[in-house]
Every structure is written in structure tokens, then in C-alpha cells.
Amino acid sequence: MNFSLQAKLPNLEKSIFPVMTALANEHNAINLAQGFPGFDTDPELINLVSKYMNQGENQYAPMMGVLGLREKLSDKIASLYGHRYNPVTEICITSGATQAIFTAVSAVINEGDEVIIIDPAFDCYEPVILFNKGVVVRSPLKPMTFDFDWEDIRSKVTRKTRMIIINTPHNPSGKVFSVHDVDELKKIVIDSNIIILSDEVYEHIVFEEKRHESICRYTELINRSIVVYSLGKTYHTTGWRMGYVCAPEWIMKEIVSAHQYQIYAVPTPFQYAIEEYTLKSNKYLELSGFFQEKRDFFLKCLEESKFVPQECSGTYFQLLNYSAITDENDVDFARRLTIKNKVASIPISVFYENKRQDKLLRFCFAKDNDELERGAERLCKL
């Protein structure tokens, strides 16, 4: 028998992350490409998972998540940003931030709805918009400074604009929202039907004592906003696929309608473990200092190289300009760097609609210092 399928995303390229990780593995390169921590999870958290498994918490969790965990997250957001979500109706535990984003967009976007995303855009945004027959509208950050171009964003708003996706701290640039950025966003959406999807997975990784300008701080925006967070990024457990989404009840009802038929619920013992662990606020409040030291160590090791670092105000990624080394496009140079010099990175042109060439590679510094030092040593030889 002959079978055929009509691809829903026929022109979608394969994500760059598994491509570069596979290349790193094939050539035994230091993997500074994919954004996962290169150090162990806190043994205390692992022991808590075992504790709850042994206590029998191995069956389905409630669909929106263990209530105690949602209550702790509500307390945390209220303490940090001043807004208290109802843990019963406005917080849902998800299988990572990627699922939260997919579910949130699926709940809101219908055929023909326009969604503005900011280039360079993390690669999970566009596919889910297209999957739901929405229209992707891109607005690039300003070259080299990566400032938000609010005039350009404003010019792309139409009567069909249903959502704006923002990401702060921004991956891959490391840019963080300012109060000015929030004010400009308010001007655009305040008298509109636009929903904001705010990707804040690096909320606890902001440097130089800058403040994370969460949407949750701004009462004018909360009732039209969906906010996505990551537990894996916060607790160095990316393989557990744990995140959560917050939204006003009227939006959350639609999110949960999609969530229940995508995964229903995430693993129960992980939720109980993180519920208990979340009480220890120092575990996340100290992340900025921890990763700032990592960033500074990596840059110190690169001082003798020809790479020029871009400003990095948040996330655990550092952009390096390589224009003093080669005229190659960033995809070709990233491949050569992995194969020949044994250091894997991410070319950021893949996050642009027009594959804009800024001669920049993204390196993850969430690694042990020894690995960062060895990687930098190889980069300095170029």
C-alpha cells in the first residue's frame, strides 16, 4: 500500500541545537553550543525526588500540577514581582518552557492571526505559530547593540495582530528589558486586543545588579499576558523538562484546554521534590552571582583571543564577534570550529528570518570552569 502525508511545516529547517550537539559528539568537541548546565544537580534535590518516589508519589499528578508546588510558585512570584497569581486557576506546571509556549500559542492563535516575534528569535516560536496557521511577523533587534526597535515593532502592528512574543533576558543576545522597553510595550498594546507572551525562563540570571523587568511587575499588562518560566534552567535540571505558565484565569482556561490533551500532567515525584526545594530561596536568588562569575571567568580566559565579546546582561550565553578571524558566514565557521578546533557553538544567523550575518557565535558558559578554560584555550589559538 502507498501512504502519504501532507507535511504541516514543509519548509521548516531542523533545529540547530541537535545539529551542533551531534557534530560536537561526532568530533569529540567541547560542547558550548546547547544550553544545558555542565555540572551536577544539587544532590539534595535528587534525594528529594527519591524520597517522594519511595513515599509512593508515582501516579498521575493533578492536571495543572501539584497544588503545593503551585502555591509555592505563587508565593515566589508575589515576593519577587508583587503580583499574586491564584495557584488554583492561574498557574499550570508544564513539561518544560517549550511545551508551555507551544500550548499557550495553540490556545490563543487561530488561522490568519498575526504574531510579532523579535529577531533573533528562539527557534521554537515560529513553528508553533505556523502549526496553528498563524502569520509570523518579525521585528529585528538593532544591529550590534541588540536594542529593541520599538518604532519598527509599532509599524508592524495591524488589526490582525493577536500576540507579541517577548523574551527577557533575551536568548541569544543576552539583552534584558528595561523600564523604557516596558513603557513602549504598554503604548503599543494598551488599547488593543493584543496578548503578550513573555518568555522569562532566564529570570534569575541577570547581571551587574540589573533588575529583571518581569511582566508580572506591571498591573496594566498582567490581565493580557501569559508568562512562561523554567524550573529546569533555575535548578540545573533541563533533562527533567519542568516549567510553568502563568496567566489570568480567562486565558488560563484556554491554555489548560490544550494542555490536558497534550501531556495531561508532568511527573509527580519531580513536582513534590521541587515544591519542598523551592522553599530554599537562596537556591535561585544566588544564580545571578553564580553565572556572572562564570561569564567573567570565560571572558578572562579569552582576553588573548581575536574574538570580541558583545555585552551580556543576562542568560548564560555569551556572543563573540569573530570578524577579526574570518569572513566566513557563521554557520560555516561554527562547523569548522567544531570539527577542526573542537569547540562547538551556535551561529545566530539561524534565528533571523533573513539569516542576517553579524559575524557572531553564541557560547554557553554554564559549564565547569575547567571545561570553559579548555574551550577558551582552543579559541585563543585562532
Q: What is the pLDDT of residue 1?
A: 59
Distance between the two ends of the chain, CA-based, in angstroms?
A: 55
Q: Which positions ≥6 away from 170 have C-beta within 8 Å?
A: 118, 141, 146, 176, 314, 315
Decide if 16-35+285-379 and 49-279 have a common fold: no
Q: Which of 149, 138, 141 is nearest to 171 (CA)?
A: 141
Give me 233's grid cell: 534552567
Q: What would the 3-class secondary structure string for 363-377 be?
A: EECCECHHHHHHHHH
List the chain domain ranges.
16-35+285-379, 49-279
When computed from its CA atoms, the radius of gyration of the chain, rounded to whole angstroms, is 21
Q: Which of 196, 237, 291 is nearest to 96 (CA)?
A: 237
Give me 170's grid cell: 533575551
Residuewise pLDDT in 10s, the chain (382 residues): 567 777 777 777 778 888 899 999 999 999 999 887 888 889 999 999 999 999 999 999 999 999 999 999 999 999 999 999 999 999 999 999 999 999 999 999 999 999 999 999 988 999 999 999 999 999 999 988 999 999 999 999 999 999 999 999 999 999 999 999 999 999 999 999 999 999 999 999 999 999 999 999 999 999 999 999 999 988 889 999 999 999 999 999 999 999 999 999 999 999 999 999 986 777 788 899 999 999 999 999 999 999 999 999 999 999 999 999 999 999 999 999 999 999 999 999 999 988 999 999 999 999 999 999 999 999 999 9
Q: Please check whether the domain covering 16-35+285-379 is classified as CATH 1.20.1640.10.
A: no
Instruction: Mark out the alpha helices in the chain (DSSP H runs).
Output: 16-26, 43-54, 67-81, 96-108, 125-131, 150-155, 179-189, 219-222, 232-235, 249-262, 268-277, 282-285, 287-301, 330-339, 369-379
Q: Of 3.20.20.410, 3.40.640.10, 3.90.1150.10, 1.20.1250.20, which CATH number belongs to 49-279?
A: 3.40.640.10
